[in-house]
Structure formats: structure tokens, C-alpha cells
Amino acid sequence: MKIVETSIPDVLIFDPTVHGDDRGYFMETFRLAHLTNLDPSINFVQDNQSKSKQGTLRGLHYQLKFPQGKLVRVISGEVFDVVVDIRQSSPTFGKWEGSILSAENKKQLWAPAGFAHGFYVLSEFAEMTYKCTEYYHPEDDYSLLWNDETIGIDWPLLDPSPLLSDKDQKAFSFTDAPLFP
């Protein structure tokens, strides 16, 4: 597996080696050592899966008291996956990183704790799975406004009005959001 650095040093893309022939393919999708070499305290406690239709934008979600590191991959379809550094003490505070994740390219994105996460569905449908380093706590659930001008994410929108949940429509602006110290 190739580990590719991004413009934000803590955010990584995992690009697996795919062994294929006329019968299909095999690939390793997870090896804990790849992450514990970066941070020995990483421990996944929850796996999630979601399915969304084209034009859906989910996020940018995060937790403060129980921050989650996430290893995200798409098992069907294609998304534009985004993370925003919300660690006020970080040299990349307020910066975002986006990557196309798809069932075809098989890439995974590692977003450590301290990042808001979201995605936009480019294909007819997309199914995603992600491993989390902390349990989901609904009382500690926050959302940043997806189109906040301070962050300036360049979303590859197919329609200027993405499909949003009520929560994401009422999300915090970056300047008003509670963030990490």
C-alpha cells in the first residue's frame, strides 16, 4: 500500500496495491501498523457505512469532547471527500483537503481527530465505510457550513444546490463555530 501525503501533513491518502486477473482482484484494505507508526494511540472502536444519492452533501461534521479520527473509503460509486483542520493550534488551521474517493480508484482518506469531515456524491449513488477512533456521541455532534467563504472549499457541484440535511443547512459558520483549542 502506498501512503500519499497531502497538503495537510496529518491527512493521508492510502492507495492500495490491487492484485487482479481475469477472475477479479484482491487488495489489503487496512493494516493498523500503517497508522500506529504515525500515532501509537490509534485504536478503532466503530465502523460506519452510509449510502447517499447523487448530489447529496454530508458535513462538515465533527465532535469536540470525543473527537474521531476517520479512515474513509468508498465501496460503491464516487465522492469528493473533504476534511477541514479545526485545530486552532495547528499551522494548517482552517485549511481544507479534498480528494476523489471511488470504488474504482480504491483510495482511502485518513482524517485524524481534530478535523471536520464531509463529502459530496458525484455518482448516481455512493456507499462509504469508515472506521472511527471514537464512538459517536449525538450530544457532541457539530457541523460547519459546507459553503463557508472563510474556508473556501472548491466543491465540484453538479447542481448549485446540493441535497442537505436540516442539521447541515443550519451549520455553524467557521468564525462562529466551537473549535479545538
Domain ranges of the chain: 2-169
Phi, psi of 105 (to 5 degrees): -85, -15
How confident is the prediction along the chain (181 residues), in pLDDT tens digits per residue?
A: 899 999 999 999 999 889 999 999 888 888 888 888 888 889 999 999 999 999 999 999 999 999 999 999 999 999 999 999 999 999 999 999 999 999 999 999 999 999 999 999 999 999 999 999 999 999 999 999 999 999 999 999 999 999 999 999 999 999 999 998 8
Residue partners of 95: CB distance under 8 A and separation at least 6: 7, 8, 84, 85
Q: What is the pLDDT of residue 34?
A: 83
Q: Give the residue among 144, 134, 163 at the shortest CA–CA distance from 55.
A: 163
How many angstroms separate the CA atoms of 23 and 177, rounded? 50
CB-based contact 45:132 (threshold 8 Å): yes
CA dihedral defined by 73, 75, 81, 83, rounded to 10 degrees?
-20
59: alpha, beta or left? (left if phi > 0; alpha if psi -120 to 50): left
Catalytic annotation, residues: 61, 130
> Which fold would CATH assign to domain 2-169?
Jelly Rolls (2.60.120)
Give the global pTM: 0.93
Which residue's C-alpha cell is 454530508?
A: 58
Q: What is the pLDDT of residue 33?
A: 85
Q: What is the pLDDT of residue 84?
A: 98
The dihedral through the CA atoms of 91, 93, 95, 99 has a sign that is positive
